[in-house]
């Protein structure tokens, strides 16, 4: 009987449920696709490296020239300089908090859209502080893993002028969050679903 108990304890200790194994695997894959490569940033510059990060994970970018890009394979050759990055559109992408240090050094980045992105959570919103010196426009919508704590962390974005928030099902008190942000960012205009619909800003 004693041997049987020991066997059960040992088996319990080493067993990892399959759903957890799958989750850990995809978390690792996401980390590898998102984490910055310091050597590549140094070689190609922050704007090119940041664009690669976004495009590699299914997002879109807009250059200072106004050109939009949604296909990683259409990036210019590595030896060719790229314009400054002004917009990151993370709609339906797999960008996550692991990648937000890519914002460092993107001197013209002013607009970030985080819509229907499964990996965007409070850690990702806190990671936006890497772009606090340039970000003026931000949309956070239909991101199920964002909570009140994540929204309140946006007060680090001192230059923020426009903030769009809607369809955040894990936020318990959106009005309190808005008031909190407004108190700390008095020059920021905070918009909701109705405003976003009028502006054609992905209200799905």
In the chain, domain spans: 19-68+82-198
End-to-end Cα, the chain, rounded Å: 60
Taking 70 as the pLDDT cut, the residues of the chain under it are 1-23, 25-26, 194-204
92, 58 contact by CB (below 8 A):
yes
pLDDT at 11: 35
Fold type of domain 19-68+82-198: 3.80.10
pLDDT at 186: 97
Q: Residue 27 is encoded by which pair of tokens?
A: 């978390």
| Cβ neighbours for 151, distance < 8 A, ≥ 6 positions apart | 125, 140, 165, 168, 171, 174, 177, 180, 181
Per-residue pLDDT of 103-142, as tens digits, reads: 999 999 999 999 999 999 999 999 999 999 999 999 999 9
Q: Name the 3-class secondary structure at 46.
A: helix
The conformation of residue 172, written as its DSSP 8-state character, comes to S
Sort 100 into a burial class: Cβ within 10 Å, 0-12 / 13-18 / 19+: buried
pLDDT at 199: 45
């Amino acid at each position: 009987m004693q041997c049987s108990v020991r066997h059960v304890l040992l088996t319990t200790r080493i067993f990892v449920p399959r759903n957890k194994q799958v989750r850990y695997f995809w978390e690792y894959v996401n980390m590898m696709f998102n984490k910055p490569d310091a050597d590549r940033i140094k070689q190609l510059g922050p704007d090119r490296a940041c664009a690669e990060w976004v495009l590699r994970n299914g997002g879109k970018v807009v250059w200072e020239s106004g050109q939009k890009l949604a296909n990683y394979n259409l990036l210019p050759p590595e030896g060719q300089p790229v314009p400054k990055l002004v917009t990151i559109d993370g709609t339906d992408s797999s960008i996550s908090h692991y990648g937000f240090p890519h914002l460092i050094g993107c001197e013209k980045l002013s607009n970030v859209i985080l819509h229907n992105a499964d990996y965007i959570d409070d850690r990702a919103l806190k990671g936006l502080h890497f772009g606090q010196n340039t970000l003026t426009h931000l949309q956070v919508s239909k991101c199920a893993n964002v909570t009140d704590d994540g929204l309140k962390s946006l007060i680090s974005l001192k230059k923020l002028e426009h903030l769009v928030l809607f369809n955040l099902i894990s936020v318990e008190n959106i009005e309190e969050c808005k008031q909190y942000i407004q108190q700390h960012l008095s020059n920021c205009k905070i918009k909701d679903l109705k405003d976003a619909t009028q502006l054609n800003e992905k209200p799905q």
